[in-house]
Chains A and B, each alone.
Chain A
Amino acid sequence: MFEILPHRADLRIKVWGAGLEEVFQSALAGMNEVLKPGFCQAERQFSKEVKLELEASDPTVLLVDFLSQVLTASQEQKVIYCKADFENLTSQAVAVKLQGMAVEGFDRDVKAVTYHEAEVKKNEKGEFETVIVFDI
């Protein structure tokens, strides 16, 4: 689950989920909603695929780096990757297959996914949550 929050100059989302995978899925959905609102909500035939594997020191850095790499792939290929199948996801490593569709353009120029305010931690409901800030 995600929610778009206010920010003075750029864009923030809050993401949360019962486990890490749900947080990653929510963050991906949130970023795609920023890039092109409504695109991933429609029924689509995915014709583009990319695989990513990365490691990081902790789940926060891992999440931001994961989103960064998806953003890079999106920008380079002009594709929105709506679907993520996680082959492996731990607090320090992720291997994922992403599927998506080509787009003519994006609604938002997301320059980068930042580490600003990002901290994956458990909330009072026992869910994982964090804020992600995009430089736009």
Chain B
Amino acid sequence: MAIEKNNLKKITDYLWEIPKSFRSDMRVPVRIYATEHMLEEILRDRSSEQAINVTTLPGVQEAVLVMPDAHEGYGFPIGGVAAMLLPDGVISPGGIGYDINCGVRLMKSQKTFEELRPHIPSLARALYEAVPSGVGRGGKLKLNTQELDEVLQKGVKWALEHNYAEENDLEHTESRGTLENADPGAVSAHAKNRGRDQLGTMGAGNHFVEVGRVEKIFDGEAAKTFGLYLGQITIMVHCGSRGLGHQVATDYIRLMLNKLSNYKIILPDRELACAPYSSPEGKSYLAAMAAAANFAWANRQVIMAEIRKAWSKVLGGDGGKLELLYDVAHNIAKIERYQIGGTEKELVIHRKGATRAFPGQPVLIPGSMGTASYVLVGTEEALTQSFGSSCHGAGRRMSRHEALRRVQGDKLKEELQGEGIHIESGSIRGLAEEAPEAYKDIDEVVEVVSRAGIAKKVARLRPVAVVKG
């Protein structure tokens, strides 16, 4: 059944609702955060239909949310948030995504753009050499099963024990970089084999290390609390759980698909494969997901350690410290408590291409190359409106195929360098696929969540160097 704009109810200029009367199997409505113009774009692919499918899942509460950077995914749309009631509501790997704990961390330096300017090319080169990137590329660390199990169990704590982290880093990572319910035993041998040489690596696609400068401050007080100031140099890392996480998702989608009839679950889409949270499959997936999430946090921590070394190598003692502002996951499930119908309830929150936005918490929103990234702050309003969630990035609006047709990687690199953005990339094709025009307008995306009140703008960052696989 095609969804048209006139099927939606406008709640505000930035929030729209598909009522649950739209389709007979919907248990709750869908709420979409978007301007009218952005809504028209969202309705052009299957994101809204996928969100409607999610509303059919057992235990879903209140509404399924769609963020302004949404686009079609697998099962759940990317940019989707759904909350299921414990203990019998379902957990669905498609609501987290194949790249478990794909996320972002932002480091802040003690240097300004003007101070760094002469060193940018050599810093970019040093970062490219320090952080292994590219398709399937392994890194320096090759872990045996016991070592890998420790990473899966401990996450950033493992990194601390092995001198890749400082205590302060844990304080500034979501969940302190460790989900305590992780069980390495719930992760298959195949997943471990895919990931054992990938700790400390970026991967390819839209993953990157980006050196940026604080171009604008929107909220002086919040910026001061975060330690951000105009002209300051920052470094952002975007990557996830690599092949290990991808395999965990594949394994459990298959397992749950085979067990649906045990729980009398009928799905409109196989990629919504799920199981009750309280079931053996549900518990096992959550434990495996937590292990993969820990791997991703350890991954970003090891990458940050390499970045710190490269920074010192290029700038020497004069470079000062690189401190972690924060690290957020944008593909994850968390157990959290919210008011539902006046009573506090325990829910499993699925965030797929969506970021936690708790009050006072930094919310990191990477844009495309050549545009901007944002630091926002979470709000009390997010707890009421959006299960403590916000958007995660710019969201793709153009296929890779189309991007390759329209954009020449070499020319793009020249153009970006002409704009003062130094590029180090292992793949000219990969660069073209990630062209700024392939993505939605990040300023518009962030404006929507800000106007909706679920996260507030603190600072905008402009890239000065991008390192990609």
Contact = CB atoms under 8 A, between A and B. Distances in A.
Interface string B21-36: 0000000000000000
Contacts of A65: 254
Contacts of A9: 71-73, 78, 396, 399-400
B204 A109 contact: yes
Interface string A121-136: 0000000000001011
B136 A75 contact: yes
A78 interface: yes
A117 to B, nearest CB: 10
Nearest to B192: A76
A44 interface: no
B249 interface: yes
Contact of A133 (B74, B249, B254): B74
B290 to A, nearest CB: 19
A11 interface: yes
Nearest to A36: B135
A105 B399 contact: no
B271 A112 contact: no
A81 to B, nearest CB: 15
B98 interface: yes
A106 B399 contact: no
Contacts of A113: 250
A72 B258 CA distance: 19
Nearest to A74: B136
A112 B98 contact: yes
B401 interface: yes
Nearest to B50: A116
B306 to A, nearest CB: 20
B246 interface: yes
Contact of B135 (A10, A76, A107, A118): A107
A114 B271 contact: yes
Contact of B398 (A4, A8, A114): A8
B99 interface: yes
A108 interface: yes
B246 A7 contact: no
A10 B204 CA distance: 13
Interface string B437-463: 000000000000000000000000000
A62 B193 CA distance: 23
Interface string A2-26: 0010111111000000000000000
Interface residues of A, number: 30
Contacts of A135: 74, 98, 246
A51 interface: no
B205 A76 contact: no
A76 B194 contact: yes
Interface string B109-135: 000000000000000000000000011
Interface in A82-106: 105-106
Given A75-B194, A109-B136, A135-B98, A116 B400 contact: no
A41 interface: no
Nearest to B261: A57
Given A9-B71, A9-B400, A111 B137 contact: no
Identify which of B74, B193, B269 gathers the most chain A CB atoms within 10 Å of its CB. B74
A66 to B, nearest CB: 11
Contact of B98 (A7, A78, A111): A111
B396 A72 contact: no
B398 A112 contact: no
A125 to B, nearest CB: 26
A3 B211 CA distance: 39
B190 interface: yes
A50 to B, nearest CB: 12
A72 B271 contact: no
Nearest to A108: B135
Contacts of B135: 105-109
A131 to B, nearest CB: 13
B134 A105 contact: yes
**Which of A9, A106, A107: most chain B Cβ within 10 A?**
A9
A58 to B, nearest CB: 10
A40 interface: no
A25 B397 CA distance: 32
Contacts of A1: none
A65 to B, nearest CB: 6
B234 interface: no
A115 interface: yes
Contacts of B72: 8-9
A26 to B, nearest CB: 20
B271 A75 contact: no
B186 interface: no
Nearest to B206: A9
Nearest to A11: B400
26 contacts: A6-B399, A7-B400, A8-B71, A8-B397, A8-B399, A9-B72, A9-B73, A9-B396, A9-B399, A9-B400, A10-B400, A61-B270, A65-B254, A72-B194, A105-B135, A109-B135, A109-B136, A109-B205, A111-B99, A112-B98, A114-B271, A115-B74, A116-B269, A118-B270, A135-B98, A135-B246
Given A4-B401, A72-B247, A109-B204, 11 more contacts: A8-B71, A8-B397, A9-B396, A9-B400, A105-B135, A105-B136, A105-B137, A106-B135, A109-B136, A114-B271, A115-B271
